[in-house]
Amino acid sequence: MLLPFIQVAEAQGTIPGPSTHAQSAALIDVTSGRILYSKDGDKELRIASLTKIMTAIVAIEQGKLDDKVKVSSTAFAKEGSSLYLKLGEEMTLENMLYGLMLRSGNDAASAIAEHVGGSEEGFVLLMNQKAEEIGLKHSHFMNPHGLDADGHYSTANDLARLTAYALHNPVFKRIVATEDKSAPNPNESWEYSWHNKNKMLRLYEGADGVKTGYTKKAFRCLVSSATRNGQQLAAVTLNDGNDWNDHARMLDFGFENFPLVEIAQKEQPVANTDVITGRGFTYPLAESEKSGVTKRLVLTTNPTETRSEKNEEQLDFGLAGRIDLELKGEFIGSIPVYRKGSYIPPEPKSEEEALGENGEVSTWATAWRAVLGHLLSP
């Protein structure tokens, strides 16, 4: 169950967290969305190029990866870090996203925003709509690149939740894990060649993202992610002069103290009933928390129609309800349950299944929005 956009049983106080030099910091388990560590995590601060995490996920969801993006006069020669794109140059959205996330190109950010949103202002509206959609309560965006601007801010906790959301998108996940990327250059005989600025990819075992950031007012900002033993964590620091070392300590802390624990398996019989679980469920738990998980079976009075695997025309009344899971009285997720012998629909497991034609997100985004609507409904 994927819950990175709601607050679920924060672990703060369960185990003393690691020390950092950051003004604000957060650590999140990507699968569950559980905040494992937070230091002034809701303090609203400047976030520099960590902004581009939102830029990338909005562009991936709203745009088409093979679209040609043209560099306008307002995107050309944008101040700060740059891909040095030429005025009028065209590049696919996918390649421009690589330049955005690996080299933090501000010119790419503006070009992407104008292409996807019709204008920078239109794209910023999409960014703030996405922030509201995924429950970021302490974030507001004024531009797609992160250059210092009044009213442009976020928090370590919000950025952790945004990153967890984005890392479930296979395109985003692939891009931010890439160390080196080449792209065609229409104006020269040589190709663009981009080396990822994120040193964590080379410094930390299992590292697979995400984004660096710096301005003179925001100072050093970093979001990193890593996967070990099937568990992915993401760490955030804002204004941290020793971020590489701090992130290693934070990630080590999470992996060592909050491993994923299997609470339920798919198609597991529910005792004293005629139903089975529709999916498995894992959750990051400290050793002392394992006994605190409780389960509550909620059966529906009107079974839901689901399609039969063998016959597309035949409907099977299989979905029977759900199991709500709590940790010490706080909701952490739910598992659908189905009548024994009924068809259990599969979940997308590959990028090909998660993406529609031309690279736009289809099934994946639809599923997330459905889950979001269920969880945030009164």
- Name the residues annotated as catalytic: 49, 52, 104
For residues 335 and 277, is the Cβ–Cβ distance under 8 A? yes
Helix-helix angle 51-62:106-117, to 10 degrees: 40
Q: Read off the tokens for 75.
A: 């995107």
Q: Read off the tokens for 327.
A: 């940790």
- Within 134-209, where are the H helices? 156-167, 170-176, 200-203
Bridge partners, residue 35, by sequence:
28
How far is the C-alpha of 56 from the C-alpha of 137, rounded, in Å? 20
Dump the DSSP string for 245-275: HHHHHHHHHHHHH--EEEEE-TTPBPTTSSE
Dump the DSSP string for 4-41: TTS-----TTTSPPPP-S-SEEEEEETTT--EEEEEST
Q: What angle do CA 198, 63, 122 make, to 5 degrees?
A: 95
